[in-house]
Amino acid sequence: MITTQLISSKSDLKKFVTFPFKLYKDCKHWVPPLIKDEMETLDKAKNPVFKNAESWYYLAYKNNKVVGRIAVILNHLEVNEQGKKKIRFGWLDMVDDIEVTKALLERVYEKGREHNLEYTEGPVGFSNMEKAGILTMGFDEMNTMITWYHYPYYAEHFEKLGFEKQATWVEYRLRIPETIFEKVAKFSKIVRDRYKLSVIRFKDKKEILPYVDEMFGLLNKTYNTLQTFVPIQQYQIDYYKKKYFNFIHPDYICCIKDETGKLIAFSIVMPSFSKALKKANGKLFPFGWTHILKAQKKNDTAAFYLIGIDPEYQGKGVTAIIFEEMQNLFNSKGIHTVETNPELKENTAVQLLWKDYSPEQHKERSTFKKNL
């Protein structure tokens, strides 16, 4: 018999967070999150997202053994300000038993109906800045720090339970040439001169902090037309600063300003932390940090995380400047492979940016939707 339990204690939250470590312990492609970060993200006393959200966490049991988990999420900004009558769910993991999946999703339906909502969608986080989507392609690839890994049966369960795909993201592997494309360097110079733009480079992480709020402001402007977008609040910006600051390497941040000093574009790239996090196995101490530091200093793979461009400058070739700066960086660091972050499948403008870098789509993921 399968039962589901609403958790309330810190010890049960620890069970919730660590369940995937048991489920994926023999999977060489699953990259574990940091347990401490997961605990804080889900802690209603520590994560400021709960100023505008509610959540309920459930564990599924079979024969007194944990066999699944799910977070049910109500984002009030999404429901009340954007008019999306949606109950979210995320942090979904379960054994290959469709009855377990069904039992967990019943808790989602109940909360959605209780709040007079019309449909459910997931897996997603609290906002569009977090992990989203069930993996549907690329099961033999390691996930990045900002994505989930799933076994193939997850998507199969959703299809059998009457869900339909809602949003789909694609990810690409790019090959970095040993020398910069002449046309990129040439076009970069033309764009810099035409619009009187200059690049801001950073020597240490403290120099980045004054620009972080402006970066997130550009993200709001850049992506506010996409279907999954929920505006990023200032308290979330402050929280993300704290959460990801230790992973940032100043060499990998590129900001572009106009002649007045206004930030008009930026890109954030990081060395790939997938192998390092795999070795850390959820813990930074006592030795997990050494793997992270090694990945920062010596790595042949990087991950493109964010690009933001002011709408006023979109379509004007600013990406040529970003690509020139990034390729110079990659060549100097010995990086020859780059993974893109998940991009909505319909966002073809972004995907066209990669055409000169031998793009190989190696992963795909989707959220699934069902009317209540």
Q: Where are the domains of the chain?
A: 2-170, 177-335
* Four-way CATH pick for 177-335: 3.40.630.30, 3.90.320.10, 3.30.420.40, 3.40.640.10: 3.40.630.30
The rounded distance, in Å, linking the Cα atoms of 241 and 180 is 32
- Sequence-separated (6 or more) residues with CB below 8 Å from residue 336: 175, 176, 300, 301, 330
| Average pLDDT in the chain | 90
Mean per-residue pLDDT, 47-52: 88
Under 8 Å between Cβ of 341 and 171: yes
Instruction: State residue 344's pLDDT score.
Output: 86
pLDDT, one tens digit per residue, over 55-113 is 999 999 999 999 999 999 999 988 988 888 999 999 999 999 999 999 999 999 999 99
Count other Cβ atoms within 10 Å, centred on residue 268: 19
What Rg do the C-alpha atoms of the chain give, in angstroms? Answer: 21
Q: Do domains 2-170 and 177-335 have the same CATH topology?
A: yes
The rounded distance, in Å, linking the Cα atoms of 202 and 207 is 6
Q: What is the pTM of this model?
A: 0.89
Angstrom distances, CA of residue 241 to CA of 93, 231, 252, 272: 28, 16, 16, 19
3-state secondary structure of 190: helix
* Four-way CATH pick for 2-170: 3.40.630.30, 1.10.3720.10, 3.40.50.12280, 3.40.30.10: 3.40.630.30
**Can you count the helices (H) and strands (E) in the chain?**
12, 14
CA triple 3-166-34, angle to 5 deg: 60
Say which residue the tokens 């910069």 belong to. 180
pLDDT at 227 over 70: no
Count other Cβ atoms within 10 Å, centred on residue 48: 14
pLDDT, one tens digit per residue, over 2-40 is 999 999 899 999 999 999 999 999 999 999 999 999 999
pLDDT at 351 over 90: no
pLDDT, one tens digit per residue, over 242-251 is 777 767 788 8
The rounded distance, in Å, linking the Cα atoms of 341 and 268 is 11
**Pairing assessment for the beta strands 53-62 and 65-75 based on DSSP bridges:** antiparallel
Q: Which of 60, 320, 52 is nearest to 194 (CA)?
A: 320
Q: Is the peptide bond before 286 cis (omega within 30 degrees of 0)?
A: yes
CA triple 86-370-164, angle to 5 deg: 125
Count other Cβ atoms within 10 Å, centred on residue 127: 23
The rounded distance, in Å, linking the Cα atoms of 329 and 254 is 10
